[in-house]
Amino acid sequence: MVGELIAGRYELEKLVGSGGMSNVFRAHDRLLERTVALKILHEQYTRDEDYVERFRREARAVAQLAHPNIVTVIDRGEQEGRQFIVFEYIDGENLKELSNRGPLDAREAIRLALQVARALSFAHERGLVHRDVKPQNVLLNEDGQAKVTDFGIARSLDVHGVTQTGTVLGTSDYIAPEQARGQKVDPKTDIYSLGVVLYELLSGEVPFPGDNFVAVAMRHVNEPTPSVSDRRPDCPPRLDLAIQRAMSKDPEDRFESMGDFAIELEACLAEIDGGGDEGATMIVPAPRRPRRTRSRELPAFVMPLVLAAVVVALLAAGAYLLFHTGGGGGVLPGVGSSSKPVSVAGFASYDPFGDGQEHNGDAAKATDGNPSTGWTTEHYRDFTKPGVGLVVSAPRAVALSRLTVVAVPGFEAKIQASNSSTGGFVDVSGDWQAVGSRTTFKIDTTGKNYRFYMVWLRLPTGSGQAEIDELTARS
């Protein structure tokens, strides 16, 4: 086909890409004297009139996506029954070629993923779901700017289930579980796929490799989401948790929108650019003091009194410790040389006895290191349900020894744990405990590791609202 003139205007110069759906050529636009990319769909997809009409309709819609991180559609047409689309030509490599040279540093990976997220969010707001988000569909121009391409094509090729492996072979590495099952897809499908892309950029490999489409797709459906930090120990914990949330098996557990995913990536990038020590990248820093009003610097003569008060407090703590350990030199559970802070992230609310969610989008505020922000339940006129919960996610399955809650007093709670964010929670802290301004729950997992921990709470009978401002955890 090289040398052929399409629509009396586009001269095909070189085949630059080929897949199960189409061939892509570099072409010369004789009318405007410029280089373009021309995609010609394979013949078998032009025989179905319904498909052709969908393709035309979506090509027109994609042409309206004027965004700096989306490859511009220039023209659409047909010649001798063959459907084609003309795009701006990007003279550079794609994201797959870049990642094949080795893992990217966190800052660069986030920078590129953030551009893709913004492009996808722009498309979602205009009613288009990509359905085939993968690094091969992200082109890099000479300035290193990411450009998403192939919008609408996967949507037009509405693949049902996993039977038509010829049309999707090679993209199963990034397929969302609901897509692999042949279920309805929506913007959250693209969130999952972008999470996989970001995982690959950081680790240098896809999370679920396999020998064939079905094997890989079933791993996406059935196997737990891996942690990037297992492959890349220097990955910031907050970024790791963001990827795991994006790759949640249940779409309801993912970010509410691609825009929300972009906001979290921006926060991850801000933490990295903030510099400093490792704690600067943690979602939950080391346990900190409860909320206090910032005051002016104390006069010098007051400092001795403050130091004396500190000494008295330390002596009192020592006496308490001695009394409660029988003088044997023991330590409080979860405190000591073997106890370590665990980075946890507010993941979601848990409301199985209500409408299924309680201010779900605010869950992350309970672990943002800022006690002036938090998560709240709905305001109840009469709290009659067995309970409602706030779920936090650890970077990987771990046995916590304690969880500290900074909250507005007025409710009871206990801690439960599970390896699924959607159910199967078991008590790990004993009976209900009244929650004060700062309450530490001692946890006994009986040697089991759990990925998700939940503050399961109940309000007194009558009206009220629970507020949790900060959660910190230790192993």
* Residues 385 and 454 placed together within one structural domain of the fold: yes
Asked whether residue 289 is domain-assigned, the answer is: no
Name the domain boundary from 88, 109, 125.
88
* Strand, helix or coil for residue 202: helix
* Residues 57 and 127 placed together within one structural domain of the fold: no
Domain count, the chain: 3
Q: pLDDT at residue 284 above 50?
A: no
* Residues 113 and 261 placed together within one structural domain of the fold: yes
Instruction: Judge whether 132 counts as a catalytic residue.
Output: yes
Task: Indicate which residue of 132, 240, 351, 469 is catalytic.
Answer: 132
Compare 81 and 99 and report the one with higher pLDDT: 99
We report the CATH number of the domain holding residue 129 as: 1.10.510.10
Asked whether residue 460 is domain-assigned, the answer is: yes
* Residues 123 and 55 placed together within one structural domain of the fold: no
> Whole-prediction pTM value?
0.56
CA 198/CA 246 separation, integer angstroms: 10
* Residues 101 and 225 placed together within one structural domain of the fold: yes
- Which residue range forms the structural domain that includes residue 391? 341-474
CA 404/CA 342 separation, integer angstroms: 12
Give the pLDDT confidence score for residue 279 in this predicted structure. Answer: 37
CB environment 173-204: b (16+ within 10 A), e (fewer): bbbbbbbbeeeebebbbbbbbbbbbbbbbbbe
* Residues 366 and 263 placed together within one structural domain of the fold: no
* Strand, helix or coil for residue 168: helix
Among 45-59, 331-345, 436-450, where is mean pLDDT lowest?
Answer: 331-345
* Strand, helix or coil for residue 305: helix
Name, of 30-34, 40-44, 457-461, the range with top average pLDDT. Answer: 30-34
We report the CATH number of the domain holding residue 373 as: 2.60.120.260
* Residues 68 and 122 placed together within one structural domain of the fold: no
Q: pLDDT at residue 170 above 60?
A: no
Q: pLDDT at residue 300 above 60?
A: no
For the CA atoms of the chain, what is the radius of gyration?
27
Give the pLDDT confidence score for residue 318 in this predicted structure. Answer: 52
| Mean pLDDT score across all residues of the chain | 81
- Structural tokens at position 143: 């300035």
For 169, 175, 214, 216, the CA distances from 180, given in Å and listed in that order, are 12, 6, 9, 9
Give the pLDDT confidence score for residue 177 in this predicted structure. Answer: 93
